[in-house]
Amino acid sequence: MARTHSFSDLGPARRTFFERGSVPSGQVPDAILQSWKRCQGMGLRAEKAPAIEPVPAARLREMRERNERLWRLARAELEALAADAAATGSIVILTDDQGWILDAEGHPVFLDRAGRVALMPGACWNEAQVGTNAIGTAIADGHSLEVRGGEHYLSPHRILSCSAVPIFDPYGQLVGVLDISGDASVPHMHALGLARLAVANIEHRYFDDGIADCELLRLHRDPALLGSAREGLLAFRNGKLLAANDAGLQLFGLGRGELGRASYEALFDDSLSRLRDDGVLLDRHGRALYGRVHQASDDRPRRPSLRPAITVSAAVQPSRADAPLFDAALEAELERACRIIDAELPVLVQGETGTGKEVFARELHRRCSRSRKPFVAVNCAALPEGLIEAELFGYEEGAFTGARKHGSPGLLRQADGGVLFLDEIGDMPLALQPRLLRVLQERELSPLGGGKPVKLDFALICATHRQLEEAIGDGRFRPDLYYRISHHCIRIPSLRDHPDRARLVLALWQRISHGRQLDGEALAQLAGYPWPGNLRQLSACLRTLVALSEPGALLRVESLPTYLRDAPAPATARPAPALAEDLETLAETAMRDALAACDGNVARAARRLGISRSTLYRRLGSDPRRS
């Protein structure tokens, strides 16, 4: 049936129900009619304004602390939706599982108007309190729905058009509701779809820390959607389906009532070993599902780091032993990057692990016009998701459990006037990327828990070892954020590509050797090794040789670490392909060669190439072994 918007449109249906006590069949959606009946049964009077009193600020803080995980995981979606809502005269609302409003953001005029009917933080909007409404009815039914104008049970709420989606945790328990509300006189055609997409992201984020003692499967019929909020997540313990997101349940037509009951054998034809080896499983109907499986500890893989996650420092002249070694090409890159930074544009530094991206960034800070101000370095791969948001953007007192008594200004404000260095930006959680983008666009931020927006002034340097273009294709990095941070890109070459490794080894050795000597064979072995850990590994090796020898000693091959003594002679470099040769063809040929070398094992081929399985499937088709 066609949906009506205004109170007057529903006048006949309301008179039929409220005055005559009859059922207005076909005049209102069934979910609305059933809610009206529940509200009538609770003795609510449709014409009476509800007595809603928002709780005091201290009680609201307690509610937020009690729902800290929900509030934290939903924060990025609230930020992203708030900008869209403000542009359409709407607001976005987050509640707990009882309908208590934890947060509301969006258009300031409609926030004020909604406040007149107590649609505001600290108020309770369950059905028992305010009758039929999107929040309360979504809680009662456990389903998303829209409630427009006169469909609200209480007539004062006819000014509202609301779209609400319940939020469930991995175990199928209701934890809250996300709602988009606006003026009932204006069509809000896409509000429910936007709310559903946001909730899918929130529910997906609940799995970021894994599920304890479970094998977590990430699956989809389309391998290109793996890693996105549309992938199915299913956690099994002892062969039983313990937890899942909505997308995972939909793959098998299951409801949340099946959690804890459905078995692995009832859903799949293949064993988990095939998913581990080939990245594919067949369900009981013979349909292919692509994905991966891992334990909770593997859910968000991070490379171990001995460096602190956060450092705040001033520009200093490095000692001779620690001074960076830049060849003519990198010196030229530094000069260009310095001009970019001084023009208040961001710089993106790319390169493999250990190539010296942070060294480059610190030297850039030392040479630029902001050298007298702080250099704030944040390793995005070494901070838990919740801490990244709190440490970067700051928070007010009481914003969440564990917050410092007087809050925190945040690292963005500590970098004021100086340089903010976001290392491993490619590992920043997808949920926080919209908020960072907004800060970079507007150059102001609002701390978690409220507070006045603060203007910001910092230069931005980002670094990553990841291929961000591939991450964009896999849905792990936002393209709009990439274009915002990549005004000027610098790629630091790996050590194996250095044109004169012997000269570089000697230059590093002379700085730290204190009179020790390397004989020709040892130098050749050091220069010929490919150094997968790049400069960091080479520097650590040379310092270890110094520590294990006496001043003035002559070091021979026997003094080198075992992995260097046993390394094969350097392979002859392959000639570079002709410029006219098609790069796409070269890439596909390399993928097919890797598959052949791995006997068709997709997982091993992907690891050998250093790419994801989804990339192999996307480039070579749904069954690469047949290509």
Q: How many residues in total does the chain contain?
A: 627
pLDDT at position 298 is: 47
* Tokens, residue 299: 């859910």
The model's pLDDT over 200-240, given as tens digits with 9 standing for 90+, comes to 999 999 998 678 888 999 999 888 778 888 899 999 998 99
Query: Cα(first)–Cα(last) distance of the chain, in Å?
Result: 49
Chain position carrying tokens 């859903």: 267
| Domain topology for 57-204 | Beta-Lactamase (3.30.450)
Distance CA(159)–CA(116), nearest Å, equals: 11
Locate the domains of the chain by residue range: 57-204, 215-298, 310-491, 495-565, 583-626
- DSSP code of residue 25: T
Distance CA(233)–CA(362), nearest Å, equals: 41
- Among 105, 108, 109, 147, residue whose Cα is nearest residue 125: 147
Residues of the chain with pLDDT under 50: 1-2, 4-8, 296-310, 316, 318-322, 398-406, 570-583, 586
How many CA atoms does the CB half-sphere of 504 hold within 13 Å? 22
pLDDT at position 199 is: 94
Provide the 10 A C-beta neighbour count for residue 85.
26
What architecture (CATH level 2) is domain 310-491?
Answer: 3-Layer(aba) Sandwich (3.40)
Is residue 122 helix, strand or coil?
Answer: coil
Q: Which helix (H) or strand (E) holds 243?
A: strand 240-244
Radius of gyration of the chain (CA): 29
- Among 93, 234, 69, residue whose Cα is nearest residue 160: 93
pLDDT at position 2 is: 43
pLDDT at position 174 is: 96
209 CB-contact burial (10 Å; exposed 0-12 / middle 13-18 / buried 19+):
middle
What architecture (CATH level 2) is domain 495-565?
Answer: Orthogonal Bundle (1.10)
Q: What is the residue-wise DSSP string for 46-115?
A: TTSPP---PPPHHHHHHHHHHTHHHHHHHHHHHHHHHHHHHHTT-EEEEEETT-BEEEEEE-HHHHHHHH
Question: pTM (2 decimals)?
Answer: 0.52
